[in-house]
Structure 1
Amino acid sequence: MRAYADHDYPAHHKPDWKLIAGLWPYLAEYRARVGLALTLLVLAKLATVATPVALKYIVDYLDQNRGGELLLWIPVLLVLAYGLLRFGATLFSELRDAVFARVAERAMRRVSLRVFRHLHNRELAFHLDRKTGGLARDIERGTNGISFLLRFTLFNIVPTVLEILLVAAILLVVFNAGYVLAILVAVVVYVLFSIRVTEWRTRFVREANARDNQSNSRAVDSLLNYETVKYFNNERFEADLYDRDLQDWEQARLKNRLSLAVLNGGQALIIGLALIVIMAMAVQEVARGSITLGDFTMINAYLIQLFIPLNALGFVYREIRQALVNVERLFALLGDKPAIEDAPDAQPLRVSRGEVCFDRVHFGYRPDRPILTDVSFRIPAGHTVAVVGASGAGKSTLARLLFRFFDVDAGAIRIDDQDLRSVTQDSLRAAIGVVPQDTVLFNDTLYRNLAYGRPEATEAEVHRAARLAHLEEFIHSLPEGYETRVGERGLKLSGGEKQRVAIARVILKNPPLLILDEATSSLDSLSEQAILGALGEVSRERTTLVIAHRLSTVRDANTIIVLDRGRVVESGQHHSLLARDGHYARLWHQQHRPSAVDTPDGPELSPD
């Protein structure tokens, strides 16, 4: 059985119809337009309801004067009125749609922007767990669902109900209550049947959506990891997994289609029986002379006119039900508050010296798995502090906490005596530049990826940053230079080239604080020395936290912190730490001992 994520719902879950009331803010922005659209709606329905009356008088006049003298201008005027009423009904409907178009399109724009901003405000943990393909489908279906609900709730349900009431009133006044009773019974049976069957088949709609998300997530994830698939010759394996998801989607869609056929067939049967009963009543009355042939024609026209929108009402209810499912998922996504939020009284960070202090910090990604325990150290203003240790010691976690991707479980992190939780995230992150270990680029030009560090920067500033990051020679070797497109996630560039782009971005951002998270891990030795020189110049007057695996890259740091299993076990400068012959010394000797030892039988590989 599929495990549902936070925003997936089991098939029996019923959506909240109160969601429709939540759409009012999107209508309130254009009250005048909505009011005008509703006025045009009423005019269109009045013209529609009046059309069969004109038809009745045409038929009656022609029938009563058959074989006698006809005054041609009377039927001509009646036909003209009939045509104008039909045209008016269409004209008012089109004008209504044109007036309301701005409301619906603006609502989609507002919701899309709101979701986009909300997703960027969500915490890192959410994005680590998300399935991008499924999330994109949820957003697309949800925004389309809002547009559908706005249009069809106002312009299908309301006018259909209005038309039923108008037709019932006319039949009650002109004829007798039997017709009204028959129509009302048919409408009630039709609506109840549509609701019950639609409720029953909603599980299949949900299942189809879930399977659609699942298959789409699989496809996107596989394509994003194209190279990994190729490395292991797993194209067939990926295709089989995708086909398995598509098979589940196919079965869910099939159930959806078959249940729709049941619904459509039942609705058609109810309409057909209602037509037979009401037309039989009208035929009997014509035979007895109780009503005229024109009356019979009018009743027939009203039935056709009434059951067409009623049939549409069944479709609309189905679609509204499905739209509610989609909108509910979107609103649930929007309803989830970010785990990391600014405090109500948060103030902008003021960086005067740039001193960073970790004060007895405890942190774990899960309560049952602590990562950092009682970590305390200080980075004086303008100093460089490097954090080293074995993989999994918690080095990169320090950088994530300083950037406030997560909040500490206990203790505090301060910049110039300001607790990170008391300042705004925007001002904090504006003050910190990060060179990550894994740089992901946008599928855009090299220039725009460089300028992302400060989008308003001048061309000269971007070129200077590229030069300081030792990228300029590489860029000039490209046929399209700065306009070269880097591909999805920057796959057209090597790891070292992407890392230099990340360094250029930080140079361009020019922040007072720096985080270098394995900033040279993808560089060769020559490039590493050149980049270290550039980073040394950039960080000279900045407070810098360096996360490093290669100890040779941080030997000149003001202070080196050694982490072991989430605890600070040593700190000091390179030579003093070597002299202690402790954790740091062991790490240093492991990294610098020969990779092979000559033996009589040949080279013996070291454990590393």
Structure 2
Amino acid sequence: MAPAETAFVWTAIQTIHYAYIASVFLYFFLASTVTVCMLQTLSQRIDDEKVRRDLILWLIFAISSTYVRSSDVFRASTQLTDGCSLENQSPSYARSFSVYLLTSAIIFGAQALVLTDAKFPVWYPYLGTWLIGIAVEMTLVVLQASYESPSSAADYTTVSIQVARVAIFASLVFVYYGLRNDEKEYDNPDAEQQSLLRKRLAPKPSSLAGSSKGYGSTTRTKSSDSDSASSATAEDSWLAKQKKSEEMVQKRLQQDGNWFTYAKGFAIFVPYVWPTHNKALQFRTVLVGFCLLSTNALNVLVPYQMGVMIDSLTKYTGGNHNINVWLSVAVYIGFRFASSSACIGLLQAWLWMPVEQYSYEALSTAAHAHILTLSSNFHDSKNSSDLVQAVQGGRSVSDLLETVCFKLVPMFIDLAVAFVYLWTIFGPYMGLLMAATASAYLYITTKLINARAQKRRNYIAQMRKEWTVGYASLDGWITASMFNMISHEQNRYSSAVREHLSTRFRFQMASQSATAAQGIVMTVGLLGALWLGTYQVAYGDMSVGKFATLLVYWAQLSGPLTFFSTMFKTISYSLMDAERLLELFQAKPTIIDKPNAEDLKLDKASIRFDDVSFSYDERKQILKNISFTVAPGKTVALVGETGGGKSTILKLVDRFYDVKSGCISIDGQDIREVKLSSLREHIGVVPQDPALFNDTIMNNIRYARLSATDEEVYDACKAAAVHDKIMTFPDDYSSKVGSNGVKLSGGEKQRIAIARAILKQPDIILLDEATSAVDTDTECLIQAGLNTLCQSRTTFIVAHRLSTIMRADCIFVVMNGEIVEKGTHQDLIHSKGKYYDLWSKQLFVTPSDKRSRSRSPKKNADTIDDVNSPKKMVELTKVIKTAKHDCPPAEETKKDDGKKTGSSHQREVSSSIS
């Protein structure tokens, strides 16, 4: 064969060597990445026969072994006197052939390890490498045979191993297709309608409840420590919340089908994370990217310049005084300063902080504003701590972006640059050594972190259990002392401490084992690099400066690899927080203004319920075909059993919920057709348990109308009969009320709520048990404030204390979501229906009907008829005249007809009862 043809053949062989390992690695890496991102390991859980999988695994190990055997034969052949004929024909063949053999052995060995961990493997990443292997190995055999026939034992051995390797590759393809398990759970050809799990994967039924090993089951262990740790893990609320968050992420991943679709769900955060309308912040972000690239470049330049500096000093001390050693030192110092936190690090932080603050502010304020716009059905079932955590998740979304863009991506860039740099400067063996070290480090770290995950959960659970037990025993000291259980609490706490320390020891040992394994891998890798570098300095053309460059550069690789050990935990926590925030953003308000909604035009404040039905849950109806009309300025009272729907009627008027059927109108306007803000602007509410901010009394009352002056606040408090009480406080109106008004009594909170409603000056009043849980004297004061508030206003009153609503213009008795009776107090008393029964129970008298008398004859019991008899009325009049002096004169207000107000009459009746 001509020399040109010979050179071409050997160039082609060497090119194939390098191209083969590159193509196999890239294909397997990219195909596996696509498999993970598309979640095919989750969707294709068809369990193949274990015999076939195990056979494939052994065949892949066999392929890796053939490359190792070829490497041994080649290395032994180079030490023989006659040498290998193939090597003698090409000086560069030894390097390419050695790298090809070692790298192939590592790649297929790693492929076997990945397959070992894969319970549900997706086969096309493996199948593609097998087909590439068959094509390349057969091409190499043909090229080598076309150049020269084997002439030595080593040549024959090498060729025979290559032929065996081709046969094993072919066997892998045959096993995959020929021994394929085509048995399916269903005959349905539509893969979308097939079960993800085979029938044989489902747990087998067992008569023993504890024998199930399906999802969610636990295996009983012999260790009492393990049992206690598992118990603590199951009981710990924080771990349960973490597990729920992880399940939420996994559930949405499976619903979306792949990571790309899953990531699209977070596109809602893009306007908040990326400053869409701020060109200055966008420019800063671009500059941050240049800073990152500069850092990657300096990670190479600093070690390189150190080697240049050492080489210049070596040459200068060797007698070459023409070299300017100070220049190399100055350049090295410049590179070190540029890579320090005082230069590029400071510049990057200065550039990124405004962008980070923009993201945090935008996400936090948007989440908070979104929560406030959500409807009552959301807030009635909310958990405040979860909402606060979700709002704070805005920071986690920003941290996630920073972790991925500024830590994860630069880490892989550094590793890729390191591989290319070491290959170029120190030869392919050094690049191969670096790649093997990094791969081993990442693999071992992943395995050990997964192995210690359960130990970490147990440790956290026991640590929190110790704190909980200790706090509970100290907080319950009185109870423990009463029952003489001090020694029991001491033993319980000491047991919790021992369990905590036991799980802590196991977790710390697992962490130390992981750290030790990482250190061993890095040490072995450094040992190989030093051995190879020393050999090249002693027997090759490498300088001492390059050797120093190798040491410094190798030390810099530990940073990106160490970050990998915490990367997954950081990203997973950020994803869980982002998932909570995403769920919050996806929640939509159910009570919204219609596109053509107009302001409420209030004239007389007449309210009409027209065949209204409502239910919080479709399975249970709360209101059933409610119809009534409230005339302007009239007072309507709602009484009846608890849970009958009285408070729900008030919520519907204020439009916290929308009716399911029927209509609620104010002055002929459907409240669903008007703007929500204009509706609530005309409504004043005095709830049963007023909610106050942890602020001053003045600010709490002024909250109803922020533009109100101090004098208007004082007038409202005087009308609510609470001004004199406030002035007795040390700081009068500047007094802090505490969290939700904890520093105030129930009556004081009610009167402040009334003053707040008076200050608002609404046209419609909703009173929900405004005098609940207060004494009689306080009720007199509250009733005086209510009289002032409700005068000439359309009013709804929900009350269980019937004495407070006797003077209402109309009383509705609501039972099981229906109005069963309606009328004035006197009309309902004389009708002797449900209201009559409620009134008689509150007066502690027996109804006058014959059935009640025959069932419960009491000698001295008064009846309703007795109370209304002339003799009993004379007695009540005397008591009323005496009781009138117990309430302030302000409560004696008159109506136009000259009669006393409902408040006076109510007090009189209350006094007569007492």
TM-score of the alignment, normalized to the shorter chain, above 0.5: yes
Structure 1 window deviating more from structure 2 (313-322 vs 19-28): it is 19-28
Shift of 1:306: 2.1
1:124 to 366, 376, 387: 376
Instruction: Provide the residue aligned with 1:296 in structure 2.
Output: 547
The letter for the 1-side match of 2:676 is Q
Q: Aligned pair in 2 of structure 1 residues 291, 5: CA closer, same or farther (>3 Å)? A: closer
Contact 1:123-1:339 at 8 Å conserved across structures: yes
- Given the alignment of the two structures, is residue 365 of structure 1 paired with residue 616 of structure 2, yes or no? yes
CA distance in 1, matches of 2:610, 2:421: 81
> Within 1, Cα distance between the matches of 2:374 and 2:493?
32
1:101: Cα distance to partner?
0.7
- What is the match of residue 87 of structure 1? 337
Task: Name the residue aligned to 1:9.
Answer: 245
Equivalent of 2:401 in 144, 150, 156: 150
Change (3 A) 1:7 1:283: closer
Say which of 322, 340, 351 aligns to 1:99. 351
CA 33–451 in structure 1, closer or farther in 2 if over 3 Å, else same: same
- Where does structure 1 lack aligned partners over 5 or more consecutive residues? none
**Match of residue 364, structure 2, among 106, 112, 121:** 112
Q: Which structure 2 residues correspond to residues 269-280 of structure 1 after superposition, within 5 A?
A: 269-280=520-531
Q: How does 1:162-241 map to 2 (within 5 A)?
A: 162-194=413-445
More strand by percentage: 1
Contact kept? 2:299, 2:553, Cα under 8 Å: no
SS at match of 2:616: strand
Q: How many Å separate the matches in 2 of 1:113 and 1:552? A: 48
Change (3 A) 1:302 1:441: same
**What SS class does the counterpart of residue 370 from structure 1 fall into?**
coil
Matched, 1:54 2:290: no
What is the SS of the residue equivalent to 1:65?
helix
What's the CA shift for 1:503? 0.9
Corresponding position of 1:541: 792
Question: Equivalents in 2 of 1:210, 1:127: separation in Å?
Answer: 31
Task: Find the residue that maps to 2:704 and give its secondary structure.
Answer: coil
Match of 1:585 in 2: 836
Find the aligned partners of 1:324 and 1:47 in 2 and give their Cα distance. Answer: 32
Quickly say closer, same or farther: Cα 1:544–1:201, change in 2 above 3 A.
Answer: farther
Q: Is the 8 A contact 1:357 1:377 kept in 2?
A: yes
Q: Is the 8 A contact 1:27 1:34 kept in 2?
A: no
Worse-superposed segment, 559-568 or 152-161: 152-161
User: 2:751 & 2:732 partners in 1: Cα distance?
Assistant: 15
Partner of 1:437, secondary structure, is coil
Residue in 2 aligned with 1:471?
722
Correspondence 1:312 to 2:558: no
Structure 1 stretch 347-356 or stretch 575-584: which is displaced more? 347-356
Q: Closer, same or farther in 2 for the Cα pair 1:216/1:124, shift >3 Å?
A: farther
User: What per-residue deviation string (whole Å, max 9, x for no partner) do you get for residues 526-554 of structure 1?
Assistant: 44334333323322332221111222222
- Name the residue aligned to 1:454: 705
Mapping 1:34-53, distance limit 5 Å: 34-53=285-304
2 CA distance for matches of 1:133 and 1:216?
A: 20
TM-score by length of 1: 0.84
Counterparts in 2 of 1:392 and 1:7: CA distance versus 1, 3 Å: farther
Contact 2:274 2:359 (8 Å CA) reproduced: no
Is the CA contact 2:309–2:328 (under 8 Å) kept in the aligned structure 1? yes
Contact 1:559 1:571 (C-alpha < 8 Å) held by counterparts = yes
User: Over residues 345-401 of structure 1, what are the superposed CA-to-partner deviations in whole Å (9 max), with x where a residue is unaligned?
Assistant: 544444333222222222333333332222211222322211111323221121122
Percent of paired sites with the same residue: 30
Q: Which moved more, 1:422-431 or 1:296-305?
A: 422-431
The structure with the largest alpha-carbon Rg is 2
Residue 270 (structure 2) aligns with: 24
CA distance in 1, matches of 2:696, 2:500: 37
- Taking the aligned partners of 1:166 and 1:209, their CA distance within structure 2 comes to 39
Post-superposition shift, 1:563? 1.0
The match for 1:483 among 734, 738, 756 is: 734
CA gap 1:567/1:330 in 2 versus in 1, 3 angstroms: same
Q: How many angstroms apart in 2 are the aligned matches of 1:493 and 1:38?
A: 57
Alpha-carbon contact 2:316-2:325 (below 8 Å) kept: no
- Equivalents in 1 of 2:454, 2:419: separation in Å? 35
> Does 2:320 correspond to 1:74?
no
- 1:253 Cα offset (Å): 8.5
Find the counterpart in structure 2 of residue 394 from structure 1: 645
8 A contact 1:58–1:78 mirrored in 2: yes
Partner of 2:244: helix, strand, or coil?
coil
Conserved in 2, the CA contact under 8 Å of 1:171 and 1:179? yes
Residue pair 1:373, 1:566 contacting (<8 A) in 2 also:
yes
Partner Cα separation in structure 1 for residue 662 and residue 363 of structure 2: 38
Note if contact 1:466-1:501 (Cα within 8 Å) is conserved in structure 2.
yes
- For the residues of structure 1 that align with 2:673 and 2:242, how far apart are their CA atoms? 29
Query: Which ranges of structure 2 fall in alignment gaps of 5 or more residues?
Result: 1-233, 254-258, 276-280, 847-855, 863-913
Give the CA deviation at 1:518.
0.9
> Higher mean Cα deviation, 381-390 or 330-339?
330-339
* 2-structure distance, mates of 1:80, 1:336: 60
* CA offsets 1:556-596 (integer angstroms, 9 cap, x no match): 2222111122210111222222232222222223223469x
Equivalent positions of 1:222-261 (< 5 A) are: none
Between 1:323-332 and 1:98-107, the stretch displaced more is 323-332
Structure number with the bigger relative contact order (C-alpha 8 A, sep ≥ 6) is 1
* Rounded Cα–Cα distance in structure 2 between residues aligned with 1:212 and 1:118: 36
Q: 1:346/1:193 Cα in 2 relative to 1: closer, same or farther (>3 Å)?
A: farther
Distance in 2 of aligned mates of 1:387 and 1:355: 17
Q: Quick one: distance in 2 between partners of 1:145 and 1:195?
A: 23
Q: Which moved more, 1:334-343 or 1:549-558?
A: 334-343
Q: Secondary structure at the match of 1:369?
A: coil
Q: CA deviation at 1:442?
A: 1.7
Aligned to 2:604: 353
Distance 1:86 1:358 in 2: 79
Per the TM alignment, residue 119 of structure 1 is displaced from its structure 2 partner at its CA by 2.9
**Once the 2 structures are TM-superposed, how far is the Cα of residue 46 of structure 1 from its aligned partner?**
2.2
Do the aligned partners of 1:499 and 1:522 also contact (CA within 8 Å) in 2?
A: no
Tell me what 1:410 maps to: 661
Question: What amino acid is aligned across from residue 372 of structure 1 in structure 2?
Answer: L
Structure 1 stretch displaced more, 259-268 or 389-398: 259-268
Deviation at 1:206, TM superposition (A): 8.4
Alpha-carbon shift at residue 434 of structure 1 (Å): 0.9
* TM-score normalised per structure 2: 0.58
| CA drift at 1:194 | 4.6
